[in-house]
Structure 1
Amino acid sequence: MLQSLGVSKEAEALYLVLAPLDKASPTELAELNNVTTEAAQETLVELQMLGLARPTGHGEWSPLSLLEAVRALRLQRLAEVDAASSAAESMYNRILAAAHNDAEEDINVLVGADAIIPVQVAICDNAKREICYFDKPPYVDDRHDSTPESLSASAPEWQALERGVVLRCVYHPGFDADRLSELSLFAARGEQSRTAQVPMKLLLADGEVALIPSMRSYEPGQELRASLVRHPQLVEALVWLFESVWDQSVPIMASTYNDPRRQMLVSMLMTGSTDGAIATQLGINVRSVRRWISELMDELGVTTRLQLGAALVRTDALKVKPPSR
């Protein structure tokens, strides 16, 4: 669960063993975690660098606060995402400038929804391996009847999932209830969903073609514009940008709870978000956030935020995954 924050699966597993203990030796942890003593020692050093464990002397180690460490890791990742966003803005300006000078039609400017939407559908229909998205409001094609049946008939991304194409999407924070409900359906169908600050709208297919809608063209009174990019070097740069933001984004745990807002609550708690930040993200007041957290603590049988963090890690690590489609 914590891989998006730079915590390896081995470190997370060892922390789950160490967290309930006051202290333990590498040998004891190795036996509890079914690994070698050398591997346990190496993983303890990793936990120390992450701020999740510390040596106490006599060859023993003690756990440190999960939430405090996750908050620090989150701040580091946010700084990295901000840097990637700045790079994206610079890259996008270069793409727009190149669009006016490219003689080989590696970049085409599309004007109007009637020109953009068919190209978007064609990109999804022709994808063979993977589709990657940055999803960010505003939207021009909101689907008000979001059911599996309607999405199967009208959404090219859903149809790609049905063909076995991998779909990865990073959603910008601040979705409304309708978008959350649709997100939940896509995640249940197999989409790999994460959330982070994304710099722009983006559609990538098979690392070969990209569609970049102009954010300014969504302003009132503007005509929609998008750039269709096939230039290999530019597409490669956009793939790098997507992977950079993806690596720093927060997984949305859509398989644990049916309520999409509860899913987002759990995801944000796992990144150490404050109650105020969660309230802003979900469009509710802080009192409602605290009530939901209290209900979650009751469900998991814990009494403190620290215990809640460890319980969420343990619950996600132990839950049964749905069969692959």
Structure 2
Amino acid sequence: MLEIFGIDEESEKVYARLLALGSAPIEKVAEEADASPEVVEGRIATLQSAGLCVRDVTGWWQVVPLPEALRALRAKRTAELDALVASADATQTRLLAMSDVGSGNLRALVGGEALRTALRDFAHNARFEICGFDKPPYEITRPPTKEWLEEHSPEYQALLRGVGIRSVYHPGFDRNRLTEMSTFHDAGERARTGDVPMKLMIADASVALTQAPASYAPDQERRAILVQHPIMVEALQSLFEAIWHRSLPIDTTSGGLSSDPRRDLLISLLMGGATDVAIANQLGVTERSVRRWIANLMEDLDVQTRLQLGAALARSEALRNDSTSLAGLDAD
């Protein structure tokens, strides 16, 4: 019965005696088991090491119920397996990095420093456009400023020197990310939000960089792959375009209504006819939050009903489009 714990037959008999006694000193267990105290002490030590018996407050021995002992054993084995999987995973990625797959068409990057260097070179070498997916978790948690981005962000530096950037952000941005998105938008980034499958960057439709999903988890080694194989880059670019076209624009200049991309997304979803449930799912918030935001928006626009809200938003969008058209005529 106790083979799964690695317990021999004689020690199992001691477990059964101790179970019947409830709690007892070694001498009493030895008497019941018809064995010497020294022999019983050794078998109790075996049971104790397997988590099957413990001392009570009086110093006597008592058994650990089998279901409880099995749960403890399962937790221990699971922890051991998790440690083995993590070790094997790290070994595999290091072997991959050493192999430099595909004669340069695929290059594995292992470790935070290797990834940061690759990102810096990636953005620095971009000439025309960078396309990307972004999703939590985010490595940088500091409040972003324009000055910090100008000095430390390779993507922002590329944007400032005239490289176009199109990004699709997965819903669930925190306040710092919203601030950073607004700063990028002010510098010319075109941004949308939608369900994205991974972190991805593509430069000039010729090279791509994507992180391994497992490395998103806390305390995991950062891993990524640099892709230069033309067929694979073409496939990733097609994936980006498909998700870009079905994602919703984030516009921080829509008639001066909002400087918060999350609120602009709310407006886009409302104008697209999305329900409160759909909006909540898209933004990663509760329906109650959505209703509160809509109420605040109605108050800002001085309307009383959802119908009036829709008309006000449509009118604001039309005015914005007219202003854009007139600006284009003036430029001519």
Amino acid at match of 1:148: K
Match of 2:237 in 1: 239
Per-residue CA distance 1:266-297 (angstroms, 9 max, x = gap) = 13323333334444555655444323312322
Match of 1:139 in 2: 138
Q: Does 1:187 align with 2:188?
A: no
- Give me the whole-angstrom Cα distance separating, in 1, the residues matched to 2:120 and 2:219: 25
Q: How does 1:17-96 map to 2 (within 5 A)?
A: none
Q: Does 1:316 align with 2:317?
A: yes
State the SS of the aligned residue for 1:210. strand
State the SS of the aligned residue for 1:139. coil
State the SS of the aligned residue for 1:175. coil
State the SS of the aligned residue for 2:103. coil
Per-residue CA distance 1:201-220 (angstroms, 9 max, x = gap) = 10000001100100112224
State the SS of the aligned residue for 1:170. strand
Match of 2:105 in 1: 106
State the SS of the aligned residue for 1:173. coil
- Give me the whole-angstrom Cα distance separating, in 1, the residues matched to 2:303 and 2:218: 49
Segments of 5+ residues of structure 1 without an aligned counterpart are 1-96
The offset of 1:308, in angstroms, is: 2.3
Match of 1:213 in 2: 211
State the SS of the aligned residue for 2:104. coil
Q: From the superposition, tell whether residues 294 and 222 of structure 1 become closer, same or farther in structure 2 (CA, over 3 Å).
A: closer
- Give me the whole-angstrom Cα distance separating, in 1, the residues matched to 2:99 and 2:197: 22
Q: From the superposition, tell whether residues 263 and 314 of structure 1 become closer, same or farther in structure 2 (CA, over 3 Å).
A: same
Deviates more, 1:266-275 or 1:103-112: 266-275
- Give me the whole-angstrom Cα distance separating, in 2, the residues matched to 1:204 and 1:176: 24
Q: Is the 8 A contact 1:129 1:165 kept in 2?
A: yes
Q: Is the 8 A contact 1:134 1:170 kept in 2?
A: yes
Amino acid at match of 1:107: L
Q: From the superposition, tell whether residues 115 and 185 of structure 1 become closer, same or farther in structure 2 (CA, over 3 Å).
A: same
TM-score, normalisation: structure 2: 0.62
Bigger relative contact order, structure 1 or 2 (CA pairs below 8 A, ≥6 apart): 1
State the SS of the aligned residue for 1:108. strand
The offset of 1:109, in angstroms, is: 0.6
Match of 1:262 in 2: 263
Aligned length: 226
Q: From the superposition, tell whether residues 240 and 100 of structure 1 become closer, same or farther in structure 2 (CA, over 3 Å).
A: farther
State the SS of the aligned residue for 1:236. helix
Amino acid at match of 1:226: A
Bigger Rg, which one: 2
Match of 2:146 in 1: 148
State the SS of the aligned residue for 1:161. helix
State the SS of the aligned residue for 1:104. helix
Match of 2:49 in 1: none
Amino acid at match of 1:206: D
Match of 1:83 in 2: none
Match of 1:250 among 248, 251, 255: 248
- Give me the whole-angstrom Cα distance separating, in 2, the residues matched to 1:102 and 1:292: 50
Q: Is the 8 A contact 1:174 1:280 kept in 2?
A: no
State the SS of the aligned residue for 1:159. helix
Match of 2:173 among 175, 188, 193: 175
The offset of 1:248, in angstroms, is: 0.3
Amino acid at match of 2:264: Q
Q: Does 1:223 align with 2:221?
A: yes
RMSD: 2.6
- Give me the whole-angstrom Cα distance separating, in 2, the residues matched to 1:101 and 1:146: 35
Match of 1:202 in 2: 200
Per-residue CA distance 1:219-241 (angstroms, 9 max, x = gap) = 24431110100001110111100
Task: Quote the sequence identity (%).
Answer: 51
Match of 1:26 in 2: none
Amino acid at match of 1:111: V
